[in-house]
Amino acid sequence: MAPLSGVLITQLGWRDAYIWLGAIAGSVIILSALFLTRDSAEGGVLPYGAAPQSSQNTIPETPLPSISGFAQSPLFWRMYLSFGLW
């Protein structure tokens, strides 16, 4: 968004740029709201606290990794840096 903001501000001025950025953000919000569903059963997800019908389809419980396991994961460090540098 920052490069787009910079281009719009230099081309249109800050007032018109903020109007366009608001219109873009609003349209993205409206378009993403079209993908939301109200009923979790449509997506095949059980409501919170509901027990599955048969125990054959359940995923076996796996132990949670330790903190040192997270610290060794490259995905953890990418997420840490992306949130930390923001």
Predicted confidence at residue 86, as pLDDT, reads 60
Q: Which residues fall within 8 angstroms of residue 17, CB to CB, at 6 or more apart?
A: 5, 8, 9, 11
pTM over 0.95: no
For residue 54, the number of C-alpha atoms closer than 13 Å in the C-beta half-sphere is: 2
Q: What is the pLDDT of residue 30?
A: 92
Q: What is the pLDDT along the chain (86 residues), one digit of tens a residue?
A: 789 999 999 999 999 999 999 999 999 999 988 887 677 666 677 777 777 776 555 566 777 777 788 788 888 888 888 887 76
